[in-house]
């Protein structure tokens, strides 16, 4: 299991990015969370087998059809226990 923190910038709010990411993560068996940030970015923590996390990272860099991803910053994060992949409130 690997754990990553993501910061996704560009046109990623108002385009159903969070709902799309939840679908993508759940289809890959990844746990964690996603939320909008007040600065217009999307933030997420993802956890799962390395191969599935890498597959999600590839998808996240493109996003849903209405998104225009400018950058994805990926950092390691301490292990967290999640039962599913969920949406969190905007911060």
| Sequential pLDDT tens for the chain (91 residues) | 999 999 999 999 999 999 999 999 999 999 999 999 999 999 999 999 999 999 999 999 999 999 999 999 999 999 888 899 999 999 9
Whether residue 13 contacts residue 40, with contact meaning beta carbons closer than 8 Å, is answered with yes
| Pair of tokens at residue 32 | 């964690």
Exactly one of 4, 35, 36, 88 is catalytic; name it. 36
Residue 80: per-residue pLDDT: 82
36 is annotated as an active-site residue: yes
88 is annotated as an active-site residue: no
Pick from 28, 36, 37: which is nearest to 85 by CA?
A: 28
Exactly one of 4, 11, 18, 37 is catalytic; name it. 18
Residue 82: per-residue pLDDT: 87
Q: Domain 2-87 has what CATH class? A: alpha beta
| Pair of tokens at residue 11 | 């046109």
Residue 20: per-residue pLDDT: 98
Edge-first strand listing for the sheet containing 2-11: 68-76, 2-11, 42-48, 31-36, 85-87
């Amino acid at each position: 299991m690997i754990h990553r923190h993501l910061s996704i910038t560009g046109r990623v709010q108002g385009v159903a990015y969070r709902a799309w990411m939840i679908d993508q993560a759940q289809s890959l068996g990844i746990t964690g969370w996603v939320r909008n940030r007040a600065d217009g970015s999307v933030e997420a923590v993802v956890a799962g087998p390395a191969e599935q996390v890498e597959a999600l990272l590839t998808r996240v860099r493109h996003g849903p059809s209405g998104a225009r991803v400018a950058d994805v910053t990926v950092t390691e994060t301490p292990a967290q226990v999640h039962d599913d992949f969920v949406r969190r409130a905007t911060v």
